[in-house]
Amino acid sequence: MHVIQAPLSMDSVAGGWVDCVFLIALKGISMAQSRKYSLTLFGATGFTGGLCADYLGQHLPKGTSWALAGRNPAKLEAVRARLQAAGVASLPGLIEADVDDQASLNAMAEQSKVVITTVGPYVFYGEGVVRACADHGTHYCDLTGEPEFVCNTLTRYHDSAKKTGAAIVSCCGFDSIPHDAGALFTVRALAKKLGGQINGQVTMEGVVTASGTFSGGTWQSAVTAFGRPTENRYAMKHAQMALNHQYPKSARILPMRPKKDAELGGWLAPMPTIDPFMVVRSARAVDGYGPDFRYGHFIAAKSLPMMLGGMVGIGGLVLAAQIKPIRNKLLEYRQSGDGPPKEKRDRSWFKVLFRAKSGGEQVMCEVAGGDPGYDETAKMLAETAMCLALDSSQPKRAGVLTPVMACEDRLIERLQAAGMTFREI
């Protein structure tokens, strides 16, 4: 039987969760334990899905029942044959499922304790999988970084997922785990310095440096998201209203302005990705961030011209994506299924530096790893899913969650054991 800590957390108190919700969640989670598969990977035939299948094959405890899911049985067979050739001990079952066939998604969710999905762009292909999991009390992990999808998932499925006991966890890759889990690691270090507890305002900044390239699927998702600014704004506004209601605790994003800060790596450009939204959501819901938490998210450049060049480049791409014929041309530039080769990924790396201040004290922490977009992303996704499927104290709560809201410190322990760096500097 799982030990559920959700009803004792700040999340439940602030959100007004009541015992009956807890009991329903408990029922949902124990029901999920009797499923045919502990884990199902939907999208196993894609680039990132393939890396995730390899990681699971190598790291799932022997005897774990798991499955690969997708729309093309021949491609699924080929992935399983690759795993078999690599000597994987517990070979997966296969499930045919298509995002255009809701019954197939429901059947996939019904027989799985956790569904991982790498089928994107999520704004087009993701909602049916979330619905199936929320309805069937199935835990869910994805790789989206698309604000519209994340926000709509929160406003549309939080209540139904809470009722069935499902943990619906978005952004389990480079978007947003290093930032979400890194902020938790940093407030833990800050609390230690402050004698065990944070009582005042916390100001934290996270600064990303990275080297790597992207896959066709990431390109398709990014250009699609850039081309939907109105939909993004609308979804964000409604999600913010829902959050203010669910978690009245004060946590907010710092104003986004470029600046120079030698301690944090030079010139810093604001990074208005989904990451700060996820960090602040965790800070509202999880104990330990103090009563008033503020977070700023940046990317570092070595010089002012480099920073300005980067901002103009991204701004130009966002502008170009507003014009449909140009957007369609951009979408043709990288095709679904492509991705960086192993030699390129082996040379890729990332580092996120955090600085947090409160009560006259300051700490600096670092999260670092290898190829951010694919090898480490596959690892982070698989470790989050294994945390939900296999660890006895997980998930910490039900509903639509951030990775930290779902797994808290256990996620950091797992990622450290898997070779990622989390350290105070």
Q: Give the binding site for ligand NAP (CB under 6 A).
A: 43, 45-49, 70-72, 75, 98-100, 118-122, 125, 143, 145, 173-175, 215-218, 221, 336-337, 339, 373, 377
CB 295 within 8 A of CB 205: yes
Q: Based on CB atoms, which residue is closest to ligand NAP, 42 or 157?
A: 42
Q: What CA dihedral angle connects 66, 176, 158 and 119, to 10 degrees?
A: -50
Q: How far is CA 237 from the centre of its chain?
A: 20
Nearest distance, CB of residue 376 and ligand NAP, angstroms:
9
Q: Based on CB atoms, which residue is closest to ligand NAP, 70 or 147?
A: 70
Q: Based on CB atoms, which residue is closest to ligand NAP, 143 or 415?
A: 143
- CA 113 – CA 136 distance, rounded (Å): 10
β-partners of residue 211 are 349
Structure tokens at 310: 């980067």
Nearest distance, CB of residue 24 and ligand NAP, angstroms:
30
Strands lying side by side in the sheet with 66-70: 93-96, 66-70, 37-42, 112-117, 139-142, 167-169, 399-401
Nearest distance, CB of residue 73 and ligand NAP, angstroms:
10
For 145-212, what is the HEC assignment? Answer: CCHHHHHHHHHHHHHHHHHHCCEEECCCECCEHHHHHHHHHHHHHHHHHCCCCCCCEEEEEEEEEEEC
- The type of residue at 425 is I
- CA 75 – CA 72 distance, rounded (Å): 5
- In angstroms, the Cα distances linking 113 to 71, 260, 388 are 20, 47, 9
Q: Which residues, at least 6 apart from 90, have a Cβ–Cβ distance to it below 8 Å?
A: 57, 60, 62, 63, 64, 65, 66
Nearest distance, CB of residue 81 and ligand NAP, angstroms:
15
CB 95 within 8 A of CB 40: yes
Return the SS3 of 307: helix
Q: Based on CB atoms, which residue is closest to ligand NAP, 220 or 246?
A: 220
Structure tokens at 396: 């910490």
Structure tokens at 398: 């039900």
Q: What is the DSSP string of 67-103?
A: EEEES-HHHHHHHHHHHHHTT-SSPPEEEE--TT-HH
Q: Based on CB atoms, which residue is closest to ligand NAP, 13 or 78?
A: 78
Nearest distance, CB of residue 262 and ligand NAP, angstroms:
29
Nearest distance, CB of residue 368 and ligand NAP, angstroms:
16
Q: Based on CB atoms, which residue is closest to ligand NAP, 144 or 186?
A: 144
Nearest distance, CB of residue 164 and ligand NAP, angstroms:
23
- In angstroms, the Cα distances linking 161 to 39, 81, 366 are 18, 35, 33
- CA 298 – CA 217 distance, rounded (Å): 24
β-partners of residue 201 are 292
Nearest distance, CB of residue 274 and ligand NAP, angstroms:
8
Q: Based on CB atoms, which residue is closest to ligand NAP, 119 or 184?
A: 119
Nearest distance, CB of residue 231 and ligand NAP, angstroms:
16
Q: Based on CB atoms, which residue is closest to ligand NAP, 165 or 369?
A: 369
Q: Based on CB atoms, which residue is closest to ligand NAP, 182 or 288?
A: 182
Nearest distance, CB of residue 147 and ligand NAP, angstroms:
12
Q: Based on CB atoms, which residue is closest to ligand NAP, 205 or 371?
A: 371
Nearest distance, CB of residue 336 and ligand NAP, angstroms:
3
Q: Based on CB atoms, which residue is closest to ligand NAP, 77 or 287?
A: 77
